[in-house]
Structure 1
Amino acid sequence: MEPTDKEIQYIDPHGAKETLGDNAIHVEGLSMILYDTDQFMDHFYHWWGEIILGSWRVYSAFIQYSNASWPPPLPARFILPHIYLDEWHDRAGVNAPLMRACFSSASIEKQDYWLDLIALNRTVVFERAMIVSREAARRHPFSDKWYKMMAGTMDVPTLDNFWEYLRSTTIFNFLGYLPTVVVNPIPGNTEKPIITYISRQGAGRRLIDKDHELLVESLKLLEDEGICEVFVAMMERMSLHDQIDLVSRSTILIGVHGNGLTHQLWMPPSHRSTVIEIFIPKAYVFDYELPARNLGHRHYAVWNDTLITYPKGTYYKGITYGDGFHGNSIPVYGPAVARVIRERLTEPITSRGGARN
């Protein structure tokens, strides 16, 4: 997708009139031009966890440093020049409904809209536009560090809670209410912090069966102690409504590396909110750590009985997949995971929160 002169040209302001003419068609509002292909767009993580989250961080920074009011105006339209029909819809049917909930007044224009503008053979001026390009993002120095589209946004300074406006808007419009969230376990209180374990035991990449069973048993022991409420969720068997409701009430999200961890977008940030991502031992990728840092959740990587986390400003060095990364025999020692969860729910409030960067 290397752009040619048909896609992008840089012109000198002094010669602009000769190129653009005396007048133009004006398109009001913010236009988000998503210059990507269906190879990535039709995936919950790539759409929401990279394209939308990353672009909103950059847009939020622009609003903040231009001293504009908050919350900022939402996009008037999303333009997908390389998408013909509904190729941006993911197989699980998550992307589109959540877009309609989050950006309820925005249109989603595809290739026909883009070609119509070209056919006008007129200059079209967008009042405000953001071009989101995966190819351009890969040229940022951080791309070689984390190999993620949104890597280059990680040093863009913005508000700590920049995502909260979209999170709460999406949840309220989708559910019709904002769920109550319990963060701290209080003795005698019937409502406890919610721990959601996203099980992939029906998928290809999954835990060893006996390790899955021990993990569930270890989590249930925490529930018996009265410090949390545990839900074991197989997202593919739940309605989207129930998925969003559960995650938006959760404080800790656990799962094998996979698409379900993108749901951390709807988990409210707090000093205890945590994403625990299980890998095959010694494997490490940043798909769900970078969103966690953006959202204010503490991220832990799990290698069987070892949990590792990195404070703000520090990161694991390198990207490693290794044998068995996508396999069905990923080990995990449940009591080790339960120990960290107990610490996260009971440690003093002034200690470790989420790492923003």
Structure 2
Amino acid sequence: MEALKKPKSLVLIALGVFVGLSMMTLHLSPTAREYASDKITIPKIFSKPISPIPPISPSIFSPSIHSTPIIDQNDDIYNVISPDPKLSETKYLGGVPGHQVLQNIWIKDQTIYILHRRRKSIPGMSRVVSGDTKYEIIRDPQDAVLKGAENALVMDGSTIFVNDGAKTDMWHYLSSYYPFIAEVFLGSVTALASVPATREMVEEVRPGIEVPKVPQRVIIPWKAAEGWRDEEGMNELVLKGVLGDANLIEPHSWAQLSEHSRAHDGWIFFERAVIADRWASHRHNPLSDSLNKMAASIFSRPHPPFFFTPIRTALLSHLEIPLPQNRRDPQRSLGKLPKIVYVDRQNTNRKLSNEGHKELSVVLGEIESLGLATVGHKKLGKLRGKDKIEAVHDADILIGIHGDDLTNQLWMPEGGIVIELFPKDSWLPAHQIVADILSHEYIPIWNDRALSREEWDALPRQHGEHLLSNGEDIPIDATFLRLLLEEIVQRMVAP
């Protein structure tokens, strides 16, 4: 019997050695050895040097960052409206051109009425609105212009008022997912989070951290903006999922509310409103204009951590998607293993080379088979809206070529990682500024190198944009990406 056991043992040992050598060869190819020998270095990640968009704090998770300031109800500066409403003075709460926050304003016949004794303390017209929307600052509450305003229809709480589409011959950019949700909507939510709020307007999202609740409504008032829905239906899915059908007021509903035949004679009063206006932002904000992103400037304003959590929670709850646990620290795994979601665009004109795509798929498969991470390989462009959001709602790492699908980083819990693949000598800031505001680590890749923040900050806006739309495949060095991902997942689970 012993004689029979020995050959079997030798076979098993030989087989084990063969498998081990095969795995070592697969995992550390000659090219990988070159990287590992420091001939090519992987830039240090998880650091945030100085940027045109200044950091809010050492970490958005830091306990040193305060909650939304609570308004003292006894302070006349922030007097609360009476139910009538009486003609309470307008207060400028803050924001920037393109996302201005005002308390106590009236609108009638496409004119915004401001009641304030000192004009200089209120932003001028061009810093708030564009197009055919008018803007009047009235000093005297007895002014005949305000006749009937005391009987206005009251819009209580916080309103996002989208002035884009205020001019019929001016393109509004609302009919695309990123410009509407990641700039107009996210920018407006950021603006609300950057100003003081009443106790009734905030909620606690983590111990000791209070942020504004979900806004009561979004209004898209002007007829020229009727085409605000994007082809994939994401804009409508997000707004109705977060707010509810009744709290999304479109042009036809706004026209009915504004009719003079109603008891309020067309007057509508807003307790608190963010006036979102793309052209006001680009006209007055050097940062937004230089990056060609209207929300870049409001993103640079101080705001509390986790301010977007109520929005994400509302949408996931509406779609009946289980809420993921909170991330303990920035760039930490939500669970025992990090989850990587690869956004596959191979069925589009902007895609990886066939070889690069295959190699990347193999790398992700290796990482999953070695038990380093779980992997989701998703063609988000082919999925229904709910499925897109569900695919990324518990992701730790989102990786893909520059495109609208990376807008879905909004639905990852704060503090994840976004890896964006570009053609060499090409970079756009669209997803970087969103990653920053959500405290995701952002890593742009040119084939076999990761750009540092200093490097991309030095690039001009729309750098090499034509390289993303010329139909050429985008290369990727899968060995480099493997090493980068291994470093990332190791740090995400390190003690």
Same fold flag (TM > 0.5): yes
1:27 to 145, 151, 154: 154
Structure 1 residue runs without a partner (length 5+): 352-357
Matches within 5 A, 1:13-162: 13-14=139-140, 17-21=143-147, 23-29=150-156, 30-37=158-165, 39-63=172-196, 69-70=202-203, 71-83=211-223, 87-104=227-244, 106-120=246-260, 122-139=266-283, 140-162=285-307
2:477 to 310, 323, 333: 333
1:103 Cα deviation after fit = 1.3
Residue 360 (structure 2) aligns with:
215
Q: Secondary structure at the match of 1:128?
A: strand
1:202 Cα deviation after fit = 0.5
Quick one: which amino acid aligns to residue 25 of structure 1? A
Question: Do the aligned partners of 1:63 and 1:72 also contact (CA within 8 Å) in 2?
Answer: no
Q: Secondary structure at the match of 1:41?
A: coil
Question: Do the aligned partners of 1:27 and 1:125 also contact (CA within 8 Å) in 2?
Answer: yes
Instruction: State the TM-score, normalized to the length of structure 1.
Output: 0.86
Could you tell me how far apart the structure 2 residues matched to 1:344 and 1:110 are? 44
Residue 437 (structure 2) aligns with:
294
CA deviation vs aligned residue, 1:97-154 (integer Å, no higher than 9, x gap) = 2222211265222223443455425543222221100011112121233110101112
Quick one: which amino acid aligns to residue 45 of structure 1? Y
Could you tell me how far apart the structure 2 residues matched to 1:77 and 1:42 are? 19
Question: Do the aligned partners of 1:75 and 1:103 also contact (CA within 8 Å) in 2?
Answer: yes
Could you tell me how far apart the structure 1 residues matched to 2:268 and 2:333 are? 56
Question: Do the aligned partners of 2:159 and 2:218 also contact (CA within 8 Å) in 1?
Answer: yes
1:192 Cα deviation after fit = 2.5
Residue 354 (structure 1) aligns with:
none
Quick one: which amino acid aligns to residue 10 of structure 1? E
Distance 1:197-1:83 versus aligned 2 partners, 3 A rule: farther
2:311 to 155, 166, 170: 166
Question: Do the aligned partners of 1:185 and 1:346 also contact (CA within 8 Å) in 2?
Answer: no
Distance 1:180-1:60 versus aligned 2 partners, 3 A rule: closer
1:11 to 117, 128, 137: 137
Q: Secondary structure at the match of 2:468?
A: coil
Distance 1:228-1:316 versus aligned 2 partners, 3 A rule: farther
Quick one: which amino acid aligns to residue 143 of structure 1? S
1:349 Cα deviation after fit = 7.2
Establish whether residue 227 from structure 1 lines up as the match of residue 381 from structure 2: no
Residue 206 (structure 2) aligns with:
none
Residue 280 (structure 1) aligns with:
423
1:348 Cα deviation after fit = 7.0
CA deviation vs aligned residue, 1:292-350 (integer Å, no higher than 9, x gap) = 00111000111111112428xx9344220254222241111122222222222212779
Quick one: which amino acid aligns to residue 89 of structure 1? R
Structure 2 residue runs without a partner (length 5+): 1-125, 166-170, 204-210
Distance 1:185-1:98 versus aligned 2 partners, 3 A rule: closer
Distance 1:106-1:310 versus aligned 2 partners, 3 A rule: farther
Question: Do the aligned partners of 2:212 and 2:307 also contact (CA within 8 Å) in 1?
Answer: no
Q: Secondary structure at the match of 2:397?
A: strand
Instruction: State the TM-score, normalized to the length of structure 2.
Output: 0.63
Distance 1:57-1:66 versus aligned 2 partners, 3 A rule: farther
Could you tell me how far apart the structure 1 residues matched to 2:140 and 2:494 are? 57
1:342 to 486, 489, 493: 486
Could you tell me how far apart the structure 1 residues matched to 2:326 and 2:141 are? 57
> Rg larger in 1 or in 2?
2
Quick one: which amino acid aligns to residue 138 of structure 2? D
| Deviates most, 280-289 or 329-338 | 329-338
Structure 1: 4+ residue segments shifted above 4 A: 2-6, 64-68, 83-86, 180-186, 348-351
Q: Secondary structure at the match of 1:324?
A: helix
Establish whether residue 321 from structure 1 lines up as the match of residue 464 from structure 2: yes
Residue 203 (structure 1) aligns with:
348
CA deviation vs aligned residue, 1:70-100 (integer Å, no higher than 9, x gap) = 3434333322123468522111122212222
| Deviates most, 90-99 or 251-260 | 90-99
| Deviates most, 13-22 or 248-257 | 13-22
Distance 1:243-1:181 versus aligned 2 partners, 3 A rule: farther
Quick one: which amino acid aligns to residue 303 of structure 2? T
Could you tell me how far apart the structure 2 residues matched to 1:316 and 1:6 are? 38
Question: Do the aligned partners of 2:332 and 2:493 also contact (CA within 8 Å) in 1?
Answer: no
